[in-house]
Structure 1
């Protein structure tokens, strides 16, 4: 299967790039794959694709008018393997990072000590698209703002793990993370033989428990999942998680605020709601507080939140920490709030809002990856080495017009994992999105969603731009 496989320059997670020897923890898997053979792997891959389609594991591209087009999420059958000791270090680093971010959000919407002490400039905070001044003074259940988080990690050319960005508003992808494992067990059971792979099937149980713990005022909390509706790109995930948790999937029109509480309308009358797992952006949550023209939210919802009569996960305003400029300060947050050094470092980042960084970025656009601080999904990016001079010049003008809106990072040699590309095994670049749940305690999913750039030599892993995903194994 791997006789024609050539690892790229950098770090390949199956083979050493220098001598092409398999990494020791991968030898049992490589033996099983060798026994299966490439032809059978392709046949089983097609069966897996049909199974995902039957399960409805699709996502929606908003490229065909308002309704968009449904596509199956591309699935790669060659699993990614992470050793349990290595995973322990990552787990500690993720928990540390989320604790610091939670303290930061409580601070900037409270006493703003980190601003007063000169760690982060006030204008960086208040110019962010994620800043919600309406949330100043809020005290939230358990003192936590980020209850469901998905942090994107990468490995560089030396195999070092780094945080690429933080996803703290409505992080998506967990349904595909769970479906990938289900498909692997059904279609490729032989690959698990003789291996202890940490289970992930209990994610919905941990999610429900974390949400229930936010309702500190009752022992029998009612939890609902608030979705924008069937035409949202992640609607499959919304319905999947609601079904797995055994809670109701609702839209804004199903809820009403009365008598300082939130209620669900039912055929037998209204029923009090204690926790809302929202999958709607801040702007659309409450037309009284945010966008006046929103038809998706619940009028009065933020008033009830402020009175402490409902919990919302994640809290409005967490998008501030999604801002890629604010991301650059997370190591400083860890030192400031926790008095610790970061366990997982950031990718080196240039902030165009700083004049010295701006000059460097403009002079080196052909070598850097430039990102808009508020966009996601691989949009609003320039990958300098893969761009034409015309594109570079256009991006240069955008940066000069609004430096605050851009950061830049070196073009990294992202690690590669063997993947099926056009029926052949090829080294494709990957990242990793582990999921972190925070109620009374913190739980980190073993592994996470490995996203893979299935277009050969591409660095973009997003499903909307040709990326796919694969199962991630944490093994002894």
Structure 2
């Protein structure tokens, strides 16, 4: 039997060897060696594992590259180091860093854990890995170019045709593309580990849409701030050089454009990499989009914005190739219909090109040594993990005979499904696995079990060794590839791909590539050049983002009024007087029921007596996430909308709203009551006020601000109208007490008292809450702001007529301005047919019409695509 690849640890291994030679049996060396440096106290419990390469220790003790770092860490002391670690965790939690920053379909976001001890790699050691990665990236690109081109490798038999033509990712529409800048591979990543002899080897190639670079950047930011002095003294190579090369590669791919418009095509907030997509979009200055934001016109890709359609020149895609064009890839309803044709015509550069993920399937690992010799006439500098393809009878016999020592995988990678398959193989019997392989041998490979190196990891009981793997990144640069001076390190005891390690919530590490001398400063800031056109507009805002911001504003105000109304009610529930003795009680309960915070029966006295006491029913109702009207559900929606607009929200704004989502929860253990709820409501109101302050003082007055604030103004006016209607139309109880409660909930008590002292009368209260345009909480103030924002939006000025939304905004403001609040003095002025009630009804009916008009003109974009014909296999 002849394996199809060489030994991963020794490129010179004879390819006719049946199996790789056994791994090194290197055993850990005692740190008590007389020639070894003394082991510091913080690392005193550290013991390297058996039969693996240890990154910290060699035969003589602490490795040379690690010694200055270990000494510096010891200088911090155990308590000092713990404090730094806690600071790092707080920073991660504050930033909301997670593998999936939002949960969809019951999938929980995975919090990102950063280990405070980085992985240190000497520059001369890393240089060896860099050369191997560069060769491997060139090789994979050459393979892709041949498969989608003249296919000489298959014609010559070096690559069996069935390997390609049986690949579910090989689609005819991908064939004979014109790759941007003649690159079939712009971005490449490799999952690597060290063998017990210390040599690097490749666990998996990532060529579809390699993820993780954004997490590397965030890890470095946190790590460098956690250990700033140690970081700078260690001469750590910077990451910025890679991202400069990244931007150069993107610019070079643009079709005939000097200053291209670049977008990052994301899978959306439900995708596992959304945090990274938003993070890189902000860091690199690119626009984050989803498929629904793009349209094809005349074989050109257009971005749907508030100002119209804008041509896109470069798309950095994150979805799988088969999810990018629903027109030519009939098995999917996702993507941008016509994208492939626009790419073929050279009107847009898609990177990596569609179909580039073909070669990241495990089956290609079995042929890489042979392909490298065929295409380059040289051996692999960094071999991959030993792989046997069951489509070859001899290889299948070897896999079946060694099932206990090999990992069975699908020949062809299907992103997102590896974990389910791995669990299935683990849980089924040996006989079932043999039957599965024999039934369709071409679909399976056997791979050698990975023995990963170990590295120090901080644990509650101290520093201990743990297996690690590392994802390295490379970007096309001219005829070669530039490799990032760092990488994404994951702590993982299981021999699963790194994506599974991430999904399992394993820790991450920063990788420090140590330079032998001082490191030059590198910045992504552009050097001074020619003049640029000044802009004070935001017409490039995608309509989807504007819609998210609009509804974010509405939900923020909805949460605020709910919290204030709940607080006012709870204050009365916990006072000395019983609730029924307080004259404003019926109005408050009616208002709470109207906005869905309690059952409607509590607003009717006869029914309320038959329901559970409000004191016990209210807290669970507030936190009932299954009820879309509950305050907890509103807070959840706020966080969801913020996540979907993360690239447009400032860091401070994000931290506030993330804190709200995390903190507005009932105690996990023990009993809690109205006093706990009251504290949470106070904190919520303060945090919402802090966010409003940031919006008011820090957000530039562009379309981003207009749509966020229009949502807030519409909702605040609408909620204020409902509050007035529930409390004043046909009131029951003492009117003065009701008016005082209205002022309290509307945060206007202080203003009223400064004007009128303690004399509470209905005309003065109505003026303050309804028609006073100087009061930030009045209905009139909201309508003034709405009209200003509507007038600032893009309009067709050629007709000379006002738009529908302008007419509605003017009608609302004029009706409010024409209201004479001094006429409302007697109880008969508060009946359902009185002018005050009719005015409130008009405002309440016109505000939704204004919201619909804004949505129809600016926010409507393509909905879910519909398959018009049945899919044929």
Q: Same fold (TM over 0.5)?
A: yes
Does the CA contact (< 8 Å) of 2:488 and 2:510 recur in 1?
A: yes
Aligned-partner Cα distance in 2 for 1:60–1:28: 36
Aligned-partner Cα distance in 1 for 2:158–2:465: 41
After TM superposition, the structure 1 = structure 2 runs for residues 361-372 of structure 1, keeping only pairs within 5 Å, are 361-372=399-410
Q: Deviations over 1:38-75 (max 9, x none)?
A: 4433332232122112222211299x762521122121
Structure whose residues are more often helix by fraction: 2
After TM superposition, the structure 1 = structure 2 runs for residues 6-405 of structure 1, keeping only pairs within 5 Å, are 6-9=47-50, 10-16=52-58, 18=59, 21-60=61-100, 66=105, 68-295=107-334, 297-373=335-411, 374-375=413-414, 379=419, 390-405=428-443
Aligned twin of 1:472 = 511
Aligned twin of 1:2 = 43
After TM superposition, the structure 1 = structure 2 runs for residues 389-428 of structure 1, keeping only pairs within 5 Å, are 390-428=428-466
The offset of 1:351, in angstroms, is 1.3
Question: Aligned in 2, Cα 1:391/1:239: closer, same or farther, shift over 3 Å?
Answer: farther
Aligned twin of 2:753 = none
Aligned-partner Cα distance in 2 for 1:45–1:394: 46
Structure whose residues are more often strand by fraction: 1
Does the CA contact (< 8 Å) of 1:157 and 1:412 recur in 2?
A: no
Does the CA contact (< 8 Å) of 1:129 and 1:323 recur in 2?
A: no
Moved more, 187-196 or 299-308: 187-196
Helix, strand or coil at the partner of 2:99: strand
Does the CA contact (< 8 Å) of 2:242 and 2:485 recur in 1?
A: no
The offset of 1:293, in angstroms, is 4.2
The offset of 1:202, in angstroms, is 4.4
Which structure has the greater CA radius of gyration? 2
Aligned-partner Cα distance in 1 for 2:401–2:420: 19
Aligned residue pairs: how many?
467
Question: Aligned in 2, Cα 1:168/1:96: closer, same or farther, shift over 3 Å?
Answer: same
The offset of 1:439, in angstroms, is 4.8
Does the CA contact (< 8 Å) of 1:382 and 1:392 recur in 2?
A: no
Task: Give every structure 1 segment of 4 or more consecutive aligned residues whose post-TM-superposition deviation is greater than 4 Å.
Answer: 375-378, 380-384
Does the CA contact (< 8 Å) of 2:242 and 2:483 recur in 1?
A: no
TM-score of the pair, normalised by structure 1: 0.92
Helix, strand or coil at the partner of 1:24: coil
Helix, strand or coil at the partner of 1:76: coil
Tell me: higher relative CO, structure 1 or 2? Use CA pairs within 8 A at least 6 residues apart.
1
Aligned-partner Cα distance in 1 for 2:414–2:94: 32
Moved more, 33-42 or 463-472: 33-42
Question: Aligned in 2, Cα 1:361/1:440: closer, same or farther, shift over 3 Å?
Answer: same
Q: Deviations over 1:274-328 (max 9, x none)?
A: 1100111111101111145423x11111011111111101111111101110132
Q: Deviations over 1:364-410 (max 9, x none)?
A: 211122222314576256599x967x544443333233322322222
Aligned-partner Cα distance in 2 for 1:329–1:443: 25
Helix, strand or coil at the partner of 1:225: strand
Moved more, 251-260 or 32-41: 32-41
Moved more, 415-424 or 69-78: 415-424
The offset of 1:29, in angstroms, is 0.9
Q: Deviations over 1:143-173 (max 9, x none)?
A: 2111111111110111111111100111111
The offset of 1:333, in angstroms, is 2.5
Does the CA contact (< 8 Å) of 1:383 and 1:411 recur in 2?
A: no
Aligned-partner Cα distance in 1 for 2:267–2:432: 35
Does the CA contact (< 8 Å) of 1:106 and 1:143 recur in 2?
A: no
* Structure 1 runs not aligned, ≥5 long: none
Aligned twin of 1:447 = 486
Cα RMSD, aligned residues only: 2.3
